[in-house]
Amino acid sequence: MIDRETALKRIEELQSLIRYHNRRYYQLDDPEISDGEYDRLMRNLSDLEYQFPDLISPDSPTHRVGAAPLEKFNTFRHFTPMLSLANAFSDKDILDFHERIKRFLDRRNDVRFILEPKLDGVAVNLIYEHGILTVGSTRGDGTIGEDVTQNLKTIQAIPLVIPASTAREPDVSTQHPVPERIEVRGEVYIEIESFKTLNHRRLSEGEPVFANPRNAAAGSLRQLDSKVTARRPLAIFCYAVGEVRGMSFKSHWKVLQTLSQWGFQINTQIRPAENINDCIRYFHQMNEMRSNLPYEIDGVVIKVDDLSLQDKLGAVSRNPRWAIACKFPATQEITEIEDILIQVGRTGVLTPVALMKPVRLGGVMVSRATLHNLDEILKKDIRIGDAVIVQRAGDVIPEVVKVIVSRRSGAEKIFNMPARCPECGSEVVRLEGEAAHRCIGMACPAQIKERIRHFSSRGAMDIEGLGDKLVSQLVDAGLINDPADLYFLKSENLLTLERMAEKSAGNLLKAIARSKNPPLEKFLFALGIRHVGERIARILSHTFQTLDRIIPLSVDELMAVRDIGPEVSGSITRFFHESANRMVIEKLKTAGVMPREAESASDRSLSLSGKSFVFTGTLVHLSRSEARQIVESLGGSWSEAVTKKIDYIVAGESPGSKLQKAQAAGITILDEKGFLSLTGRD
């Protein structure tokens, strides 16, 4: 155990290092270290904090990774209510709002306003006591919300502490005391691009997709397990304060400036306005601009700047008189679904798309809407010929909100997913637990680039020099239509490609030829069979040794293999059953591609047969995946979790909490040296 003083020094070093890398990753989008290295820094820090809990500072980056899951959220009463805004839908409504203000204040001349985009997300309240974030809650009914502190702490853009002085603003006149207490309010949201990536990931993992960024933000914030929230791309813009003790502000503009100096994110589109005509102009400008913004907005908010005037104006029922939300014209319309088509994505996922009678939505003509997947169609009961409400939010692809059932004539047709891929005719399957249907064709034109990229990648056939760009060029030029075509390429074909000289063509052909006799496991992995990653490919190859033995295996025969379950077996048999795939394999054989026969597992000494391992901490002489491979190759197995069934825990440098758990459970502990000696690698 290290002494307290050294620990404190190391904790401070690690914290500032992690903060630096957070900034590179989240703000500059230019990371300097790998995810693995970052994880190691975090692990080192949390191990030290575990040993010295009193040295944990309130702004430690470890607070951001999520805490133990909750049973339920507690409620939280806001110190001052979170009001809502009255709406304006037209220029006239805005002028009326202005008249009401002037009348109430008994003023002729204009008041100054602050203009802000109105984000469509989830309103939250962040409480800082003496500068430390203590509670973060949702708006709820405006008086009582839900305590989602753990989740909000995972959002990088939310400061964990308000700095005592602002290093970024060394000018003394702009420095602020830290208030005794302050409620900071803002909107948690997800950017449109991040939303698309998130949904893509969910679709490929068979999870239901979110209908829009707002739902994704709300769903992410209401996770009982904050580790889930930590992986969601949540962002925040702050736009107000509630109770403030120990300092005071004169204007809303000053509030925003101060928040910004403390490190809160303030929307860059916020502007001051000297009169109401400026406000109307801004409303129209933002409506024009909205589809160019990286996040969704549904209007703008006009706020009186002077806080003493805000006070005078007060509120009527829960709406302040000093602010108004100007809503953009609705982007929902009614149209009719004329047909439902299938789009095949590059990973083979089939997405149903509605073809609709064209309608104008948010200034753009729209005739297609994504229906995501079959579950979504069934849930909304969408049929061909239905009248539907469609909406387009920001830049997001239009979507069908709901069917107008009362308009049905009875002639509407129920949609079914096709049994064969519309692009290549191969079988379409839906794997257990997944929402997506997929085409399993190895030569499917929609997937071909992705499949060839995978086929030639390092862990697969390892064809050096065949990068993404070249794959694209080869496919676009019609030179390859499936992975086997690579082996029929000739120098004269390659020379027709842009920027391909004789020397590089020769090198590529050599690299392709060199890949002809891969180990069987690499070949199996290269085929791109769903659920057959490197580990399963290795198990298959050691168990059956040759491809010819694997192709005709039945589900039952595959299931008899340890570590291969029903999903994997089903996926393998379906893949080899598909005639398009068998043709590609035959073509590969004709081209001279011959995977090397694998060593049988029983030929080798299986000294670790029946033994299971858990690894924790960093190994020095080999990577964790190499260590796991060694265990497997000797007949053993490994797992992530420490359970009673584990025989050995291998502890590398800075081991995690698994080590303590294993110690408590009386599991044999090995260091790296011990592991190498047990497996005969020392």
Q: Does 266 bind ligand IVH (CB under 6 A)?
A: no
Residue whose pair of structure tokens reads 């440098």 in the numeric block: 653
Decide whether 22 or 84 has the Cβ nearer to ligand IVH: 84
Q: How many residues bind ligand IVH (CB under 6 A)?
A: 15
Amino acid at 323: A
Stretch that binds ligand IVH, among 78-86, 145-153, 286-294, 670-678 (CB under 6 A): 78-86
Contact string (CB under 6 A) for ligand IVH, positions 289-318, x = contact? ------------x-----------------
Stretch that binds ligand IVH, among 1-9, 11-19, 117-125, 488-496 (CB under 6 A): 117-125
Residue among 41, 209, 323, 659 that touches ligand IVH (CB under 6 A):
323
The sign one gets for the Cα dihedral 289, 291, 293, 296 is positive
The radius of gyration computed from the CA coordinates of the chain, to the nearest angstrom, equals: 30
| Residue 312 designated active-site | no
Taking a C-beta distance cutoff of 8 angstroms, is the pair 562, 535 a contact? Answer: no
The sign one gets for the Cα dihedral 404, 409, 410, 413 is negative
The DSSP symbol for 24 reads: I
Decide whether 84 or 291 has the Cβ nearer to ligand IVH: 84
Decide whether 182 or 436 has the Cβ nearer to ligand IVH: 182
Stretch that binds ligand IVH, among 82-90, 93-101, 252-260, 594-602 (CB under 6 A): 82-90
Closest separation in Å from C-beta 82 to ligand IVH: 6
Q: Does 83 bind ligand IVH (CB under 6 A)?
A: yes
Residue among 118, 232, 327, 628 that touches ligand IVH (CB under 6 A):
118
Q: How many CA atoms lie within 13 A of 157 on its CB side?
A: 21
Restricted to residues 223-252, the positions that interact with ligand IVH (CB under 6 A) are 239-240
Quick one: how far is CA 53 from the chain centroid? 32
Q: Max CA-CA distance within the chain?
A: 96
SS3 352: strand
Q: Does 547 bind ligand IVH (CB under 6 A)?
A: no
Closest separation in Å from C-beta 264 to ligand IVH: 13
Decide whether 309 or 440 has the Cβ nearer to ligand IVH: 309
Integer Cα distance of 433 and 34 in angstroms: 32
Closest separation in Å from C-beta 153 to ligand IVH: 20
Cα angle 127, 133, 139; round to 5:
35
Decide whether 45 or 323 has the Cβ nearer to ligand IVH: 323
Integer Cα distance of 674 and 680 in angstroms: 10
* Active-site choice (72, 92, 118, 250): 118
Decide whether 217 or 646 has the Cβ nearer to ligand IVH: 217
SS3 508: helix
Residue among 94, 115, 119, 678 that touches ligand IVH (CB under 6 A):
119
SS3 125: strand
Residue whose Cβ sits closest to ligand IVH: 123
Decide whether 119 or 369 has the Cβ nearer to ligand IVH: 119
Decide whether 302 or 403 has the Cβ nearer to ligand IVH: 302
Closest separation in Å from C-beta 442 to ligand IVH: 49
Taking a C-beta distance cutoff of 8 angstroms, is the pair 226, 154 a contact? Answer: yes
As given in the structure block, the two tokens for residue 388 are 């539907």
As given in the structure block, the two tokens for residue 494 are 């390659």
Stretch that binds ligand IVH, among 115-123, 197-205, 347-355, 639-647 (CB under 6 A): 115-123
Task: Write the DSSP assignment of 25-48 as a string of letters.
Answer: IIISS--SS-HHHHHHHHHHHHHH
| Among 460, 584, 456, CA closest to 508 | 456
Stretch that binds ligand IVH, among 81-89, 564-572, 622-630, 659-667 (CB under 6 A): 81-89
Q: What is the dihedral of CA 223, 225, 231, 237, to 10 degrees?
A: 50
Closest separation in Å from C-beta 122 to ligand IVH: 7
Q: Does 139 bind ligand IVH (CB under 6 A)?
A: yes
Closest separation in Å from C-beta 186 to ligand IVH: 8
Closest separation in Å from C-beta 240 to ligand IVH: 5
Restricted to residues 379-438, the positions that interact with ligand IVH (CB under 6 A) are none
Integer Cα distance of 332 and 337 in angstroms: 15
Taking a C-beta distance cutoff of 8 angstroms, is the pair 229, 154 a contact? Answer: yes
Q: Does 88 bind ligand IVH (CB under 6 A)?
A: no
Stretch that binds ligand IVH, among 56-64, 320-328, 479-487, 601-609 (CB under 6 A): 320-328
Q: Does 325 bind ligand IVH (CB under 6 A)?
A: yes
Integer Cα distance of 382 and 374 in angstroms: 10
The DSSP symbol for 487 reads: G
Residue among 45, 48, 114, 123 that touches ligand IVH (CB under 6 A):
123
Integer Cα distance of 659 and 284 in angstroms: 61
Q: Does 269 bind ligand IVH (CB under 6 A)?
A: no
Q: Does 208 bind ligand IVH (CB under 6 A)?
A: no
SS3 401: strand
Closest separation in Å from C-beta 236 to ligand IVH: 11
Integer Cα distance of 180 and 245 in angstroms: 5
Residue whose pair of structure tokens reads 């082996």 in the numeric block: 487
Residue whose pair of structure tokens reads 């990931």 in the numeric block: 201
| Among 490, 453, 484, 444, CA closest to 471 | 453
Stretch that binds ligand IVH, among 27-35, 77-85, 305-313, 673-681 (CB under 6 A): 77-85
Q: Which residues are marked as active site?
A: 118
Binding site for ligand IVH (CB under 6 A): 83-85, 116, 118-119, 123, 139, 187, 239-240, 301, 320, 323, 325
